[in-house]
Amino acid sequence: MRCAEEILEDPEKAKEVVIDNPSRFIDRIELIQPITRTLHPPIIEGAEEEIKTLTLENMRALYGDNPPAVVSERVKRELDAIIGNGYAVLYLIAQKIVAQSLKDGYLVGSRGSVGSSLVATLLEITEVNPMPPHLVCSSCKHCLFSEDPSITSGYDLPDAFCPKCGKKKMR
């Protein structure tokens, strides 16, 4: 109790105890930032090449060896952004989880929340194709984009026959 009384009676001692000593103590503590605003994804060696290869293989399987320019340009732009910004591993993890879940018999539903990504569609992370409504021939891969403004989804397109090979189109 006597110590507290001394501090109260001596303004210089009070300043030392209340201001100076805590400041000296704080100056000795290293400043750390436990959470940074940078991305810290897991590391999977070759993730960039794997998503690029899977995407391009699936694009060719769906759209053929000569996909429409609008498709190939969008895939290139998206892959450049995904890989360039360090998200390849996240897409690869999502692709592997969805593929394994489907293989194990689990229904996996997605509304296309991966940035309306065509790459996510081609990696089969989502079943939502963000491209304008279109039909692709299952035989010759001929692709027709709808020009009807009243049609907002590929599911709204009527069945059609391929103008190139005559077979029934597939969505």
Q: Provide the CA 154 distance to its chain's centre, in angstroms.
A: 23
Q: How confident is the model at residue 114 (pLDDT cuts 50, 70, 90)?
A: low
Mean pLDDT of the chain: 87
Residue type, 110: S
Output 10 or 121, whichever has higher pLDDT.
121
Q: What is the pLDDT of residue 58?
A: 97
- Read off the pLDDT of each residue in 20-35 and give the average, rounded to a whole number: 87
Beta bridge partners of 75: none
Least trusted range by pLDDT, from 51-60, 83-92, 129-138, 153-162: 153-162
Q: Provide the CA 134 distance to its chain's centre, in angstroms.
A: 24
Q: 36: which 2 tokens?
A: 């940074």
Q: What is the pLDDT of residues 63-76, one digit of tens each?
A: 999 999 999 999 99
Helix or strand or coil: residue 169?
A: strand
Cα–Cα distance measured from residue 117 to residue 79, given in angstroms and rounded to the nearest whole number: 10
Q: What is the pLDDT of residue 1?
A: 46
Cα–Cα distance measured from residue 95 to residue 125, given in angstroms and rounded to the nearest whole number: 5
Full-prediction pTM beyond 0.85? Answer: no
Q: What is the pLDDT of residue 160?
A: 86
Using the predicted structure, report yes or no on whether residue 37 has a pLDDT greater than 60. yes
Least trusted range by pLDDT, from 16-20, 113-117, 131-135: 113-117
